[in-house]
């Protein structure tokens, strides 16, 4: 599976996320408070709302529509109304670039 150059490390503030679209798919890439990077599917599993307008709090991403929460490191659904886990994707950082392994 290919590693795709997604963005620069400077593109995402600490404790925030951005939207990244690739090959017809949409993703969310996160910058944790500890400086690590993570990637998940871009749309909430509840009602297909994009998570990029949501709020990152520690290791949680909160959906902007209904306030459902996921742990973006594991994709685990943490707060109603989300019940289905979020898909996650491997991420690596080389220099100042963030790469996502896209399935």
Partner 1 sequence: MGKRNYSLFGPDAARAVESGLTAAEWYHTEVPRKVMKDLMARSDAPAIRDTIILYGSMILLAGIGIALWPSWWSAPFWLAYGVLYGSASDSRWHECGHGTAFRTPWMNNVVYEIASFMIMRNSATWRWSHARHHSETYFVGRDPEIAVMRPPEVAKLVLNFFGILDVIAFIPRILRNAVSGPTPEERTYVPQSEWGKVQRVAIVYVAIYAATIGLAVWMGSILPLMVIGLPRMYGAWHHVMTGLLQHGGLADNVVDHRLNSRTVYMNPISRFIYWNMNYHVEHHMFPMVPYHALPRLHEIIKDDLPPPNRSIAEAFREMWPAILRQVRNEDYFLKRALPPTAKPYREDFHQYVPGMMRPAAAE
Nearest distance from C-beta of residue 24 to partner 1, angstroms: 18
The tokens of 40 are what? 């998940």
Site for partner 1 in 60-99 (CB under 8 A): 62, 64-67, 69, 79-81, 83
In 3D, which of 33, 32, 34, 27 has the Cα closest to residue 7? 27
Site size for partner 1, by CB under 8 A? 17
* Per-residue tokens: 3: 């590693």
34 SS3 class: coil
- The footprint of partner 1 (CB under 8 A) covers 16, 46-47, 53-55, 57, 62, 64-67, 69, 79-81, 83
């Amino acid at each position: 599976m290919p590693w795709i150059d997604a963005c620069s490390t400077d593109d995402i503030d600490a404790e925030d996320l951005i939207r990244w679209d690739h090959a017809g798919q949409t993703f969310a890439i996160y910058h944790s408070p500890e400086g690590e990077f993570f990637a998940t599917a871009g749309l909430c599993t509840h009602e297909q709302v994009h998570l990029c307008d949501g709020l990152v709090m520690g290791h949680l991403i909160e959906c902007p529509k209904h306030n459902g929460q996921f742990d973006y490191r594991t994709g685990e659904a943490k707060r109603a109304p989300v019940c289905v886990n979020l898909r996650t994707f491997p991420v690596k950082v080389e220099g100042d670039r963030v790469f996502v392994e896209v399935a």
